[in-house]
């Protein structure tokens, strides 16, 4: 994507460390976006098996939150999990390899898009059951507390998971036992093919409040706001003050999955255009970087070129990689 200079927006304070940090946010978000554009191309051209649920539009949440975590902190993710995995440190090569069902993929080709896990980066796995990972994240927080490891667990989920009872069972226990877990709800407005207002009674924020879990709502398109809020909530959890709930208001640029192209019956093209043009988290950050002179257009273009090269390298790696040996089918049923 090309960068035009936009209206100046001044950052409150700046310094070399912050410059680098914001540029890294930018690079990370762009990596997720371009990764997924490639995934969409691979799927549309029939080169990728199964299906994929694209995260485009929501990058500020994954990057803002994961940048507030240590490498050994835990995350759990969702069926729309590419962004979380990449933001927590997964490599493009092994992500693409997994999506193509190849042996060097993160799960040796046994998990695919919806199940990428990477113990080395604290990623306890994407999960294809909506809300299914609330227990895993809360359990990881319990073990962090029991062992005194100082780790924090972040549970990413969409607003669709608000319909699942497991989440409330877990929030209740996390609050009772002051577990270091942050529940990050990404409200992208749609439960698969249904507007969330049709499925979600009352106020979302009232639900964690009922369990005495503090809730903070944040503009999910503003990576710096997401980051600052999550930093506060993560450190609070790490200090033993218990769980928190972060409500990130965001938008899914594509359909429920890559094959969901005729979506006029549940949302309008105008709405999509509005978000893509005015509320794209990457464009918003670019404008901020340019406006506050933390970067110029040339630097952003250079970053984009680098990311594109890395994506291309990842795809090449994955296509060249071997499929798993068929005998692998019976391995890993039991440890």
Partner 1 sequence: MSATATRESAPRELTFAQAVREALAEEMRRDPRVFIIGEDVAEAGTPFKVLSGLAAEFGTGRVIDSPISEAGITGIAVGAAMTGMRPVVDIMFGDFLTLAMDQIVNQAAKIHYMSGGKLKVPMVVRTTLGATRRSAAQHSQSLHAWVSHIPGLKVALPATPYDAKGLLKSAIRDDNPVVFFEDKMMYQLKGPVPEGEYTIPFGVADVKRLGTDISIVATSSMVQVALAAAERLAPMGIEAEVVDVRTTVPLDKDTLIASVKKTGRALVLDEGYRRYGVTAEIASLLVDEAFYHLDAPVKRLGAMDVPVPFSPVLEDRTVPTPEIVVETAKNLCGRS
Part of the chain binding partner 1 (CB under 8 A), chosen from 32-40, 231-239, 277-285, 325-333: 325-333
Q: Decide the pairing of beta strands 181-187 and 153-158.
A: parallel
Tokens of 237: 């959890």
Residue 65: C-alpha distances to residues 73, 82, 210, 254, 332 (Å): 11, 14, 24, 22, 32
C-beta separation of 159 from 220 below 8 A: no
C-beta separation of 11 from 19 below 8 A: no
CA-CA distance, 101 to 65, in Å (whole number)?
A: 28
Residues 108, 199, 231, 310: which binds partner 1 (CB under 8 A)? Answer: 108
Residue whose CB is less far from partner 1, 143 or 268:
143
Residues 27, 110, 238, 308: which binds partner 1 (CB under 8 A)? Answer: 110
Report the 10 Å Cβ neighbour count for 293: 12
The verdict on 146 binding partner 1 (CB under 8 A) reads yes
3-class SS at 114? helix
The verdict on 178 binding partner 1 (CB under 8 A) reads no
Residue whose CB is less far from partner 1, 120 or 235:
120
End-to-end Cα separation, the chain, in angstroms: 45
Per-residue x/- marks for partner 1, 115-134, CB under 8 A?
Answer: x-xxx----xx-x-x--xxx
The verdict on 176 binding partner 1 (CB under 8 A) reads yes
Q: What is the DSSP code (8-state) at residue 161?
A: G
CA angle 60, 66, 72 (to 5 degrees): 170
Question: Least distance from C-beta 234 to partner 1, angstroms?
Answer: 17
Question: Least distance from C-beta 298 to partner 1, angstroms?
Answer: 41
The verdict on 243 binding partner 1 (CB under 8 A) reads no
Part of the chain binding partner 1 (CB under 8 A), chosen from 30-38, 49-57, 106-114, 237-245: 106-114
For residue 40, give the nearest of 62, 57, 60, 63 by alpha carbon. Answer: 57
Sequence-separated (6 or more) residues with CB below 8 Å from residue 216: 229, 233, 244, 245, 246, 247
The verdict on 169 binding partner 1 (CB under 8 A) reads yes
Per-residue x/- marks for partner 1, 48-87, CB under 8 A?
Answer: --------------------------x-x-----------
The verdict on 332 binding partner 1 (CB under 8 A) reads yes
The verdict on 335 binding partner 1 (CB under 8 A) reads yes
Report the 10 Å Cβ neighbour count for 335: 3
For residue 63, give the nearest of 88, 38, 35, 80 by alpha carbon. Answer: 88
Part of the chain binding partner 1 (CB under 8 A), chosen from 139-147, 205-213, 241-249, 306-314: 139-147
Question: Least distance from C-beta 179 to partner 1, angstroms?
Answer: 9
Question: Least distance from C-beta 150 to partner 1, angstroms?
Answer: 13
Residue whose CB is less far from partner 1, 133 or 188:
133
Question: Least distance from C-beta 288 to partner 1, angstroms?
Answer: 37
Within 148-186, residue ranges assigned H as helices are 165-176
Residue whose CB is less far from partner 1, 109 or 281:
109
Report the 10 Å Cβ neighbour count for 115: 17
CA-CA distance, 60 to 66, in Å (whole number)?
A: 10
The verdict on 195 binding partner 1 (CB under 8 A) reads no
Residue whose CB is less far from partner 1, 104 or 220:
104
* Number of residues engaging partner 1 in binding (CB under 8 A): 45
The residue ranges that bind partner 1 (CB under 8 A) are 74, 76, 105-111, 115, 117-119, 124-125, 127, 129, 132-144, 146-147, 153, 165-166, 169-170, 172-173, 176, 331-335
């Amino acid at each position: 994507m090309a960068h035009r200079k936009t209206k100046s927006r001044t950052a409150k304070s700046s310094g070399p460390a912050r410059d680098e940090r914001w540029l890294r946010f930018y690079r990370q978000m762009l990596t997720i976006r371009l990764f997924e554009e490639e995934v969409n191309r691979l799927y549309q051209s029939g080169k990728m098996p199964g299906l994929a649920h694209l995260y485009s539009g929501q990058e500020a949440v994954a990057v803002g939150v994961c940048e507030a975590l240590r490498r050994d902190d835990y995350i759990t993710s969702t069926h729309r999990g590419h962004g979380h995995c990449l933001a927590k440190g997964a490599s493009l090569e092994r992500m693409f390899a997994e999506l193509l069902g190849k042996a060097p993929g993160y799960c040796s080709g046994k998990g695919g898009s919806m199940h990428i896990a990477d113990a080395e980066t604290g990623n306890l796995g994407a999960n294809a059951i909506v809300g299914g990972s609330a227990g895993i994240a809360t359990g990881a927080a319990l073990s962090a507390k029991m062992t005194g490891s100082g780790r924090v667990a972040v549970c990413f989920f969409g607003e669709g998971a608000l319909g699942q009872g497991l989440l409330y069972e877990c929030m209740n226990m996390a609050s009772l036992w002051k577990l270091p877990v942050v529940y990050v709800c990404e409200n992208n407005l749609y439960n698969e093919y249904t507007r969330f207002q049709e499925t979600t009674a009352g106020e979302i924020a009232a639900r964690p409040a009922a369990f005495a879990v503090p809730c903070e709502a944040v503009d999910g398109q503003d990576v710096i706001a997401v980051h600052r809020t999550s930093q506060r909530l993560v450190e609070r959890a790490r200090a033993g003050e218990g769980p928190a709930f972060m409500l990130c208001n965001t938008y899914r640029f594509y359909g429920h999955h890559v094959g969901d192209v005729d979506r006029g019956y549940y949302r309008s093209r105008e709405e999509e255009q509005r978000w893509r043009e005015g509320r794209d988290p990457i464009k918003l950050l670019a404008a901020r970087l340019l406006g506050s002179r933390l970067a110029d257009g040339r630097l952003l273009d250079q970053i984009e070129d680098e990311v594109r090269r890395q994506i291309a390298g990842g795809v090449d790696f994955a296509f060249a990689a071997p499929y798993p040996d068929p005998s692998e089918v019976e391995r890993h049923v039991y440890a």
